[in-house]
Amino acid sequence: MITLIKRPTPSKGWSYATPVVAVLATMVAGGLLFAALGKNPVEAIRVIFWDPLFGANAAYFRSQLLVKAAPLILIASGLAVGFRAGIWNIGAEGQYIIGAICGAAVALSVYPAESAWLFPAMVIAGALGGLLWGMIPALLKTLFGTSEILVSLMLVYVAQNLLAYVAFGPLKNPQGYGFPGSRNLQQYPSAHNPELIAGTGAHWGVMAAIVAVIALYILMHRHIAGFRIRVAGEAPRAARFAGVVPARLVVFCLGLSGALAGLAGLFEVSGPSGQITDSFNAGYGFTAIIVAFLGRLHPLGILLAGLLMALTYIGGDMAQLILQLPAAAIQVFQGMLLFFLLGFDVLTNYRIRIGGARA
Amino acid sequence: MNRRSFLATTAIAALASAAGLPALAADPLKVGFIYVGPVGDMGWSYQHDLGRRAIEAEYGDKVVTTFMESVPEGPDAERALTQLALEGNTLIFATSFGYMDAVMNVAAKFPNVKFEHATGYKSADNVATYDAKFFQGRAIQGTIGGRMTKTNKIGYIGSFPIPEVIQGINAAYIHAKKVNPDVEMKVVWAYTWFDPAKEADAAAALIAEGVDVLLQHTDSTAPQAKAQEAGNVITFGQASDMSAFAPMPRVSSTIDNWAPYYIKRVGAMLDGSWKSEATWGGIDTGMVEIGEISSAVPEEVKAEALALKDKIAAGEYHPFTGPLNKQDGSAWLAEGVMAEDGELAGMNFFVEGITAELPK
């Protein structure tokens, strides 16, 4: 008989240990899965976690790690603030799309004019776009009490349809022979978000992700606003006594996470992706939710979790290529990570007692 | 290894390096593929994978193939292509339109690796493009559909309003109209290449509007299942044969057969004659295959459809032959004039008579 006993206060030790335990459990369960598919599990785990960092051509893959992790970290940093306050923005994917559309639209509307002001203007447009898309669930929640979870999630689908509309309509490349998709911003110098140092993968989005992590740390751990946010999440009644206005908090959290997601979209569309297409969004907004939780909603944790998540993507591709593992097995492997994380999280708040229930 | 064969191999190796050939010339040619979807057991990516397997069957130890499936278009594709190139693949097939810019970027970084991009329009010295004239298959489907419809309503599940799909809708309509002047074409845009739920909705909507011939430009069998439920609706397999739904509702199909092209291109790599080309193959090259016409189709209609197929294959007939007007009534092709490939490749209008609106 196994009984769960609630801890009086969440265990600090387990709160740090669960991500590590979850990663290890994922490796074991994933290894079993790969073995069941007839692959050598040790080799598969090595290909996923070791080869991209230290194997052949690692320099290229390390740079790709930054490219892949930057948007995840940027979005997750914003989400973490809201999650701490108990405000659930599930629609970062939509805010990411809108940020990319707004930023790209600014550039494409003045094409082919070259100006040093263009890229900063795109950055502002991208952040504003994401912010405004995040404001929709925020205002509906504060004015009508709707659930921000549902509204922000549903707005992802609206954003996707908008994306298809602009890719086939207003932003379509007029010289693209009628094919969908915008001009490629990589070939538009003023609008391009290039690698800042060749071969490192570091573009402006990577810089922004680092800044976001530091800013998140200062906000949450060194500033009164961060204290209010945490209190609001942990003890909403107490927060109200402490002078926290719930409506303002909702607007702040959704606005901030929306703006950061929008920025991530802008840096992606002007950099690695280069183009608005109907399939431009690659699920970063959803994966960032996993990153935020895997990182314990802590800035440093998010940084590490973002890199780890990126590693499973890049290593997963390697495993497909070298071991011919099916893509679906890699996706299952990534899903296991969240599953085990949530599972082991029980240990943060509960003790396990094996045996009879003695008061 | 005995001494004699040792000497022989050393001699060959010395000769090879003396002649300036790569020392690993005897190594198999590595050929890589990226697919936009999972391989699964039918559909677009599956057909490309059949082509890959055909290469292995044809060339045996002379080639090693690898593939990566479910590679999203955009930066992930660029990384996947780079990975394949770094792994030593010297011929890489990128099998989705959306990989175009990624292929161009990676090709610029690996001038010695040859790339083949399906359905795109950008090329370079080491980037060839290839595509199939699927509209030829649509002409045959339109003929069968026009003859068999009782409600005079043909439905078309469009994926995206891009030239390839627009060609298909126009070709189907022109040939349905030719055999049945009262025919009407209804189009629903699913905005997906593969999404069973959306495709089922689109099929249900079209069937509810009285459509009894259903054409799909999407990959799943969901529309086939909807048609089967309705009972009196006929369909055509797309990309794969979808013969599980034969003889009703699936009465025929257009099958993408990339194997002949892939075998030819790998052969060109092996004998060193590979060149960047733009290939647009049709029924004649085997790239577009017409699946068996089922027993649900009356004999005379089947004969008519097969005759059309033979005429297209022999190059005696082009599905886009004038007189044809554009939807707005303006003239497109004069009597007897055949559309040029370049013009079709950018097709962005419906022909006269189609009442559906093309999203802009």
DSSP sequence for A56-83 = TTHHHHHHHHHHHHHHHHHHHHHHHHHH
* Total domain count, chain B: 2
Minimum-distance CB partner of B76 among A60, A282, A324? A282
**pLDDT at B4 > cutoff 50:** no
3-state secondary structure A87-145: CCCCCHHHHHHHHHHHHHHHHHHHCCCCCCCHHHHHHHHHHHHHHHHHHHHHHHHHHHC
Q: Compute how many other C-beta atoms are within 10 angstroms of the C-beta atom of residue A127.
A: 25
Tens digit of each residue's pLDDT (9 = 90 or more) over B143-175 = 999 999 999 999 999 988 888 999 999 999 999
Is residue A55 within 8 Å of residue A293, measured between CB atoms?
no
The rounded distance, in Å, linking the Cα atoms of A315 and B83 is 11
Quick check: A272 contacting B, CB < 8 Å? yes
Q: Which phi-psi region, left, alpha or beta, contains residue A273 (left: φ > 0; alpha: ψ -120 to 50)?
A: alpha
Which of A313, A317, A318 has the highest number of chain B CBs within 10 A, making it the mutation to test binding with B? A317
Is residue B222 within 8 Å of residue B199, measured between CB atoms?
yes
Q: Which phi-psi region, left, alpha or beta, contains residue A101 (left: φ > 0; alpha: ψ -120 to 50)?
A: alpha
**Domain annotation covers residue B296:** yes
The token pair at B310 is 């033979």
Mean pLDDT for the stretch of residues B122-137 = 95
As a whole-number percent, the residues of chain A with pLDDT over 70 amount to 99
Minimum-distance CB partner of A326 among B66, B69, B347? B69
**Domain annotation covers residue B327:** no
> What phi and psi values does residue A260 have, to the nearest 5 degrees?
-70, -40
The verdict on B9 and B119 lying in the same domain is yes
Instruction: Give how far Cα B306 sits from Cα of A36, A346, B12, B145, B281, Å.
Output: 48, 66, 54, 14, 19
pLDDT bin (cut points 50, 70, 90) of residue B13 is very low
Minimum-distance CB partner of B83 among A169, A278, A321? A321
Q: In the prediction, which pLDDT does A246 show?
A: 87
**Domain annotation covers residue A287:** yes
Domain boundary among B115, B132, B149: B132
**Domain annotation covers residue A346:** no
Q: In the prediction, which pLDDT does B191 show?
A: 82
pLDDT bin (cut points 50, 70, 90) of residue B49 is very high
Which position has the token pair 């070939």? A187
A188's enclosing H/E stretch is none
Which position has the token pair 């092709």? B333
Quick check: A57 contacting B, CB < 8 Å? yes
In chain B, the largest separation of any two C-alpha atoms, in whole Å, equals: 82
Which segment of A40-44, A337-341, B225-229, B323-327 scores lowest on mean pLDDT? A337-341
**Geometric angle at alpha carbon B186, from B181 and B187, rounded to 5°:** 135
Q: Which residue of A has its CA nearest to B122?
A: A176
The verdict on B39 and B75 lying in the same domain is yes
Q: Compute how many other C-beta atoms are within 10 angstroms of the C-beta atom of residue A290.
A: 20
Chain B hits for A327, CB-CB cut-off 8 Å, are 38, 68-70
**Domain annotation covers residue A355:** no
**Domain annotation covers residue A30:** no
The rounded distance, in Å, linking the Cα atoms of A224 and A274 is 39
Chain B hits for A180, CB-CB cut-off 8 Å, are 160-162
Interface of B with A (CB under 8 A): 32, 38-39, 66-76, 78-80, 82-84, 86-87, 97-98, 101, 105, 121, 160-163, 191, 345-348, 359-360
The verdict on B111 and B189 lying in the same domain is no
**Geometric angle at alpha carbon A287, from A281 and A292, rounded to 5°:** 135
The verdict on B176 and B119 lying in the same domain is no
**Cross-strand bridge partners of residue B188:** B157
Which of B30, B39, B79 has the highest number of chain A CBs within 10 A, making it the mutation to test binding with A? B79
Minimum-distance CB partner of B98 among A68, A161, A277? A277
**pLDDT at A230 > cutoff 60:** yes
Which of B68, B71, B189 has the highest number of chain A CBs within 10 A, making it the mutation to test binding with A? B68
Q: Write the ipTM.
A: 0.81
* Burial category of B84 from C-beta neighbours within 10 Å (exposed 0-12, middle 13-18, buried 19 and up): buried
**Domain annotation covers residue A102:** yes
Is residue A206 within 8 Å of residue A66, measured between CB atoms?
yes
Q: Which residues contact A15 (CB under 8 A, 6 or more apart)?
A: A296, A348
The verdict on B28 and B69 lying in the same domain is yes
Q: Do residue B74 and residue A64 have CB atoms under 8 angstroms apart?
A: no
The token pair at B262 is 């892939």
Q: Do residue B70 and residue A282 have CB atoms under 8 angstroms apart?
A: no
Q: Which residues contact B264 (CB under 8 A, 6 or more apart)?
A: none
The token pair at B235 is 């369909």
CA A214 to chain centre: 16
Boundaries of domain holding A261: 40-324
Tens digit of each residue's pLDDT (9 = 90 or more) over A56-111 = 888 899 999 999 999 999 999 999 999 999 999 999 999 999 999 999 999 999 99
Chain A hits for B97, CB-CB cut-off 8 Å, are 179
The rounded distance, in Å, linking the Cα atoms of A68 and A51 is 16
Which segment of A132-141, A345-354, B169-178 scores lowest on mean pLDDT? A345-354
**pLDDT at A124 > cutoff 90:** yes
**pLDDT at B7 > cutoff 50:** no
Chain A hits for B360, CB-CB cut-off 8 Å, are 168-169
The verdict on B127 and B113 lying in the same domain is yes
Cα-only R_g, chain A? 22
Chain B hits for A331, CB-CB cut-off 8 Å, are 70
The verdict on B178 and B299 lying in the same domain is yes
**Domain annotation covers residue B96:** yes
Tens digit of each residue's pLDDT (9 = 90 or more) over A237-287 = 888 888 888 899 999 999 999 999 999 999 999 999 999 988 888 889 999
Chain A hits for B88, CB-CB cut-off 8 Å, are none
Tens digit of each residue's pLDDT (9 = 90 or more) over B70-92 = 898 888 899 999 999 999 999 99
Q: Compute how many other C-beta atoms are within 10 angstroms of the C-beta atom of residue A75.
A: 36
Taking one residue from A and the other from B, the number of pairs with CB-CB distance under 8 angstroms is 91
Q: Which residues contact A79 (CB under 8 A, 6 or more apart)?
A: A89, A92, A257, A288, A289, A292
**Cross-strand bridge partners of residue B239:** B255
The verdict on B211 and B177 lying in the same domain is yes
Q: Which residue of A has its CA nearest to B101?
A: A184
Closest CA to B265 of B90, B102, B100: B90
Q: Closest Cα of chain B to A11: distance in Å? A: 39
For position A195, which CATH number holds?
Answer: 1.10.3470
Q: Do residue B38 and residue A314 have CB atoms under 8 angstroms apart?
A: no
Q: Do residue B66 and residue A324 have CB atoms under 8 angstroms apart?
A: yes
The rounded distance, in Å, linking the Cα atoms of A345 and A332 is 20
Q: In the prediction, which pLDDT does A358 show?
A: 54
**Domain annotation covers residue B179:** yes
* Burial category of A358 from C-beta neighbours within 10 Å (exposed 0-12, middle 13-18, buried 19 and up): exposed
Chain A hits for B161, CB-CB cut-off 8 Å, are 168, 180
DSSP sequence for B192-235 = -SS-HHHHHHHHHHHHHTT--EEEE-SSSSHHHHHHHHHSS-EE
The rounded distance, in Å, linking the Cα atoms of A266 and A253 is 20
Q: Do residue B69 and residue A64 have CB atoms under 8 angstroms apart?
A: no
Quick check: A144 contacting B, CB < 8 Å? no
The rounded distance, in Å, linking the Cα atoms of A27 and A12 is 24
For position B174, which CATH number holds?
Answer: 3.40.50.2300
The verdict on B61 and B40 lying in the same domain is yes
Q: Which residue of B has its CA nearest to A270?
A: B75
**pLDDT at B8 > cutoff 70:** no
Boundaries of domain holding B210: 135-254+290-313
**Domain annotation covers residue A223:** yes
Q: In the prediction, which pLDDT does A19 show?
A: 87
Would you call the peptide bond into B223 cis, given omega within 30 degrees of 0 as the criterion?
no
Chain A hits for B79, CB-CB cut-off 8 Å, are 64, 67-68, 314, 317
Q: In the prediction, which pLDDT does A357 show?
A: 53
Q: Do residue B79 and residue A177 have CB atoms under 8 angstroms apart?
A: no
pLDDT bin (cut points 50, 70, 90) of residue A8 is confident
**Domain annotation covers residue B271:** no
The verdict on B202 and B306 lying in the same domain is yes
The rounded distance, in Å, linking the Cα atoms of B131 and B346 is 13
Is residue B263 within 8 Å of residue B54, measured between CB atoms?
yes
The verdict on B124 and B210 lying in the same domain is no
Chain B hits for A68, CB-CB cut-off 8 Å, are 75, 79
Q: Closest Cα of chain B to A23: distance in Å? A: 24
Q: Do residue B161 and residue A168 have CB atoms under 8 angstroms apart?
A: yes
Q: Do residue B162 and residue A180 have CB atoms under 8 angstroms apart?
A: yes
Q: In the prediction, which pLDDT does B18 show?
A: 40
Chain A hits for B68, CB-CB cut-off 8 Å, are 317, 320-321, 327
Mean pLDDT for the stretch of residues B40-48 = 90
Q: Which residue of B has its CA nearest to A65?
A: B79
Q: Do residue A169 and residue B161 have CB atoms under 8 angstroms apart?
A: no
* Total domain count, chain A: 1
Q: Please, what sign has the CA dihedral across residues B208, B213, B215, B219? A: positive
Quick check: A164 contacting B, CB < 8 Å? yes
Chain A hits for B86, CB-CB cut-off 8 Å, are 56-57, 60
Q: In the prediction, which pLDDT does A131 show?
A: 97
**Domain annotation covers residue A344:** no
Supply the mean pLDDT for chain B: 90
Task: Tell me the residue ranges of DSSP E strands in chain A.
Answer: 2-6, 350-354
The verdict on B9 and B92 lying in the same domain is yes
Q: Closest Cα of chain B to A273: distance in Å? A: 5
**Cross-strand bridge partners of residue A350:** A6
Instruction: Give how far Cα B270 sits from Cα of A123, A213, B91, Å.
Output: 49, 52, 10
Quick check: A55 contacting B, CB < 8 Å? no
